A and B are shown apart, each in its own frame.
Chain A
């Protein structure tokens, strides 16, 4: 039987054994130096074989993975992983002629991911940062979530990962141009009646991650450059528009 087992090292290295045979071989492997060496060498060989099948993954995957890496520590949850700006106070303002903020119940939190920006120290804020970080992680891991990517006018790109219900989204921005000292990026949920602010974005080194709540009926997500502190309604042309898929 032992020599039969040795003969399975190649098939095992290629994951070509069924579950039962694989388990049987692993028992043998634990005690067989010959097969241990064979499997190591064969796995190295198979890995090199993969170089004949390179394919560039979609850019959105890079954004999603690197965003999660910034939010995910390698061990326990990392308190430095996120800094939060609570925008609740901004959300009480109302703009003329639009439904700016009305009907938006849940608080939006804005997260600058893994950037060492510590805007608030209070533990309540830290909890909120952790919550936002967890929610973003869950959203990015949700196979039902939709991912849309768009270039930002003036440079950079944004990726919107929307929950299946379209009630929440993570917005990941990369390589954004630095805004002037009197300017800020502002995020908008847009429906047939106009634009509702869902937060300000303060990128650090051009990168930012925001968790936003989308009001029911939102069809499009947008971003514009606004005067510092934000505007009740967009005052400039959007630098990014992402249509939510139905």
Chain B
């Protein structure tokens, strides 16, 4: 069973306050939450704080989660991304941003992210779809999602007109959506 389906099955139990179900949900989704926060924030301590906030919010807000409006995975990852990006853009985080920019060359290569990923069949399928994108579509989407850049920042970094980035981001996501067979 994929992660998306698994989380959707667990959510009703979590919403009833079953902490065993929450522990299962934690084990299933925490690597995605921590991994995304870490990609955006770079620093493990910051990522841990975001992951803790998000996972506790999942517990506390479980009963207000509405499956008709999307999957639990999308709900949780949207929260994770939003909080990570808010942090990275906050005034206090200015120094982190400098650090991030400075340390970009030390990034782990795209094709050897972690052992956990290698074990993850789903990740392979996703990566195949990412590889289908044109270079500029891929850069637009991943710089926004994994680096937390706004689209004007992406445009500046890629030295590409704003309108083009906006369009490529959209084309890229739509192509990914179709390749992955994602439906709302």
Selected from B32, B80, B146, the residue in CB contact (under 8 A) with A51 is: B32
Q: Are A54 and B116 in contact, CB atoms less than 8 angstroms apart? A: yes
Contacts A37-B184, A45-B176, A72-B56 known; A61 to B30 CB distance under 8 Å?
yes
Query: What's the minimum C-beta distance from A67 to chain B, rounded to whole angstroms?
Result: 10
Residue of B nearest to A114 (CB): B19
By secondary structure, the A interface counts as helix
Q: Are A51 and B120 in contact, CB atoms less than 8 angstroms apart? A: yes
Q: Are B154 and A16 in contact, CB atoms less than 8 angstroms apart? A: yes
Q: How many chain A residues have a CB neighbour from B under 8 Å?
A: 44
Residue of B nearest to A17 (CB): B150
By secondary structure, the B interface counts as helix
Q: Are A15 and B184 in contact, CB atoms less than 8 angstroms apart? A: no
Chain A 32-70 interface residues, beta-carbon cutoff 8 Å to B: 37, 40-58, 61-62, 64-66, 68-70
Which of B30, B38, B130 lies at the interface centre, i.e. has the most chain A CB atoms within 10 A of its CB? B30
Question: Does B11 lie at the interface of the complex (its beta carbon under 8 Å from any beta carbon of A)?
Answer: no
Question: Does B31 lie at the interface of the complex (its beta carbon under 8 Å from any beta carbon of A)?
Answer: yes
Question: Does A143 lie at the interface of the complex (its beta carbon under 8 Å from any beta carbon of B)?
Answer: yes
Residue of B nearest to A73 (CB): B17
Q: Are A68 and B117 in contact, CB atoms less than 8 angstroms apart? A: no
Query: What's the minimum C-beta distance from A39 to chain B, rounded to whole angstroms?
Result: 9
CA–CA, A51 and B177, complex, Å: 14
Query: What's the minimum C-beta distance from A68 to chain B, rounded to whole angstroms?
Result: 6
Contacts A16-B144, A40-B69, A45-B173 known; A51 to B122 CB distance under 8 Å?
yes
On B, residues with C-beta under 8 Å from A are 3-4, 15, 17, 19, 22-23, 26-27, 30-36, 38-39, 44, 47-49, 51-52, 55-56, 59-60, 62-63, 69-71, 73-74, 76-78, 80-82, 85, 113-114, 116-117, 120, 122-123, 126-127, 130, 141-142, 144-146, 148-152, 154, 166-167, 169-170, 172-174, 176-177, 180, 182-184
User: What are 23 sample pairs from A and B whose C-beta atoms fall under 8 A apart?
Assistant: A7-B167, A9-B170, A11-B166, A11-B169, A14-B144, A18-B150, A37-B184, A40-B184, A44-B177, A47-B71, A47-B76, A47-B77, A48-B126, A49-B142, A50-B32, A51-B3, A52-B126, A54-B31, A54-B120, A56-B30, A65-B52, A68-B52, A69-B59
